[in-house]
């Protein structure tokens, strides 16, 4: 089997490549720039920016399965006044162009790494695959529209599509807010996050990669949508406590009441940050368990330890 991994130099794509190579799978890694440190066992293919005119034919030669990780990613501080066109160009048009060319060349399956943000920003109930999508930002809209485009192609060709909607992904090499959190803990910075009683689903990098690899060949995964998580939901306070333990650092948490924390962050123009820190966002992975027989192989504390170890070694 030959697997093409797009976004192969990214956080998730790189880990997928490493796992597949370790299992003896032939992997083509699609990257935008030549790899600074090529990984043994990978065949590299340079592809320009993801978009409607990207030519994938060289990268798709001999490929049976695509793991599509490449995307214009969600960022906390968006600089574009209207980012939706840019998200659509990469995440919708670029994904649909890849799938159409894949179908023409006889690729059998495409695993699409989507996002929980297709469903929204959370609430009291855990999301299920049967819930009506309700994306609330440009990134989530683009991911949902890409899913719709992929389903349309799958309905009229032999290409099988598997959609995976992960929540926040963490693990060795994680960046963005999770890295900032580890940085704060490493420096002993007091955090006003000691009284948050929300519930949020996360997925460790190892668990996400294991699920993606499962979907590559599992016959019952074809043309299905799945949520994936660690199977254990945490509050923000619990996450910080357990991450601090993994880092062997004290968690200097100040128990600021949630209403006061929300109000303070909102006044500072950080409404989205307040929602992430205080709100609920859970996913139900019963479908993955029952339909595919999949269970998360890595416990939360083990993945936190791996993330902490990597951070401390590379800071």
How many structural domains is the chain composed of?
Answer: 1
Region of poorest pLDDT, from 38-52, 131-145, 207-221: 38-52
pLDDT at 144 over 90: yes
Let me know if residue 263 belongs to a domain. Answer: no
Average pLDDT, whole number, for the chain?
95
For the residues 34-52, what does the mean pLDDT come to? 85
pLDDT at 46 over 80: yes
Question: For residue 81, what are the domain limits?
Answer: 2-165
- What's the CA gap between 14 and 7, in Å, rounded? 8
Let me know if residue 238 belongs to a domain. Answer: no
Task: List pLDDT tens digits, range 232-279.
Answer: 999 999 999 999 999 999 999 999 999 999 999 999 898 888 999 999
Let me know if residue 260 belongs to a domain. Answer: no
Paired strand residues for 46: 31
182: exposed, middle or buried (Cβ count in 10 Å: 0-12, 13-18, 19+):
buried
Contacts 24+ apart (CB under 8 A), 43-51: 44/8, 45/4, 47/6, 49/90, 50/6, 50/90, 50/91, 50/94, 50/95, 50/98, 51/89, 51/90, 51/93, 51/94, 51/97
Let me know if residue 228 belongs to a domain. Answer: no
Let me know if residue 132 belongs to a domain. Answer: yes
> How distant, in Å, are the alpha carbons of 14, 37, 53 from that of 11?
6, 15, 25
Paired strand residues for 203: 169
| Residue partners of 143: CB distance under 8 A and separation at least 6 | 71, 91, 114, 115, 117, 118, 135
Assign residue 98 the CATH number of its domain. 3.40.50.720
pLDDT band at 39, cuts 50/70/90?
A: confident
pLDDT at 76 over 70: no
- Which entry of 139, 144, 170, 311 is annotated as an active-site residue? 139
- Nearest of 188, 197, 28, 193 to residue 107 by alpha carbon: 28
pLDDT at 175 over 90: yes
Note if 44 is an active site residue: no
Let me know if residue 84 belongs to a domain. Answer: yes
pLDDT band at 77, cuts 50/70/90?
A: low
Phi, psi for 41 (deg, rounded to 5): 95, -10
pTM above 0.85, yes or no: yes
Let me know if residue 129 belongs to a domain. Answer: yes
Task: List pLDDT tens digits, range 83-116.
Answer: 899 999 999 999 999 999 999 999 999 999 999 9
DSSP 118: G
pLDDT at 141 over 80: yes
Let me know if residue 310 belongs to a domain. Answer: no
Cβ atoms of residues 13 and 7 within 8 Å: yes
- What's the CA gap between 71 and 94, in Å, rounded? 9
- SS3 (DSSP) at 253: strand
- Expressed in angstroms, the distance from the first to the final Cα of the chain is 38
């Amino acid at each position: 089997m030959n697997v093409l991994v797009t976004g192969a130099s990214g956080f998730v794509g790189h880990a997928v490549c490493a796992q597949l190579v370790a299992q003896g799978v032939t992997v083509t890694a699609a990257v935008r720039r030549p790899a600074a440190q090529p990984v043994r066992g990978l065949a590299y293919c340079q592809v320009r920016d993801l978009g409607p005119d990207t030519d994938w034919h060289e990268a798709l030669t001999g490929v049976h399965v695509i793991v599509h990780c490449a995307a214009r990613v969600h960022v906390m501080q968006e600089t574009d006044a209207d980012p939706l066109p840019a998200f659509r160009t990469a995440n919708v048009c670029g994904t649909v162009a890849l799938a159409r060319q894949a179908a023409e060349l006889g690729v059998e399956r495409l695993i699409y790494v989507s996002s929980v943000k297709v469903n929204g920003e959370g609430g009291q109930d855990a999301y299920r695959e049967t819930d009506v999508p309700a994306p609330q930002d440009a990134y989530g809209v683009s991911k949902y529209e890409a899913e719709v485009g992929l389903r349309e192609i799958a309905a009229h060709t032999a290409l099988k599509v598997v959609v995976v909607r992960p929540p926040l992904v963490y693990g060795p090499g994680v960046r963005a807010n999770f890295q900032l959190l580890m940085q704060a803990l490493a420096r002993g910075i007091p955090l006003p996050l000691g009284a948050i009683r929300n519930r949020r689903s996360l997925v460790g990098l190892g668990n996400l990669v294991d699920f993606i690899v499962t979907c590559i060949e599992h016959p019952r995964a074809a043309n299905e949508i799945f949520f994936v998580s660690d199977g254990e939901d945490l509050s923000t306070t619990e996450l910080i406590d357990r991450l601090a333990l993994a880092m062997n650092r004290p968690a200097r948490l100040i128990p600021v009441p949630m209403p006061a924390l929300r109000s303070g962050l909102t006044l500072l123009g950080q409404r989205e940050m307040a929602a992430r820190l205080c709100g609920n966002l859970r996913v139900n992975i019963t479908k993955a368990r029952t339909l595919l027989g999949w269970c998360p192989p890595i416990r939360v504390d083990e993945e936190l330890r791996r993330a902490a170890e990597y951070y401390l070694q590379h800071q």
